[in-house]
Amino acid sequence: MGVILHSCEGTRLRRDKRRKDNAYYWVIEFTNSNPKLVKLFLIFLRKIIKIDELKLKGQLFIYDDLDKPELEKMWSKETGIPLNNFNKTIVLKAKNSKYKLNPNGTFKVRYHSKEAYQRLDLLVNQVLQ
């Protein structure tokens, strides 16, 4: 299930253009607005990929009419990621009227590790061949 979730909502390996050597950016990222899907992906990272919890980060994306502190607490509780491991919450100004209201915001799980990314990539290639 974790492989499928990552294949649908995760980021792919990409080059870090900020660096002069244009090296790869070895990061596992998964973004979704459904807390149940985020929790499922975190179970996969914790039990199958065997991540180091201290390196696990979260980031919230919300519109300015939502309660930022309340949503940060909610996502911290749902994910088990402490607030001090959250990257800065991104507050978006304008709503696009063609999208329906998202009361939870969107949450991104971020984990930097070349070894973990390679383990995930190996599983993706085995499962989705």
User: Between β-strands 27-32 and 24-25, what pairing exists: parallel, antiparallel or unpaired?
Assistant: unpaired
Q: Which domains does the chain have, with CATH numbers?
A: 2-127 (3.30.1330)
Residue 117: is its pLDDT beyond 80?
yes
Residue 20: is its pLDDT beyond 70?
no
Can you list the alpha helix ranges (DSSP code H) found in 19-88?
Answer: 35-44, 68-79
Give this prediction's pTM.
0.86
Q: Which residues pair with 86 in a beta bridge?
A: 58
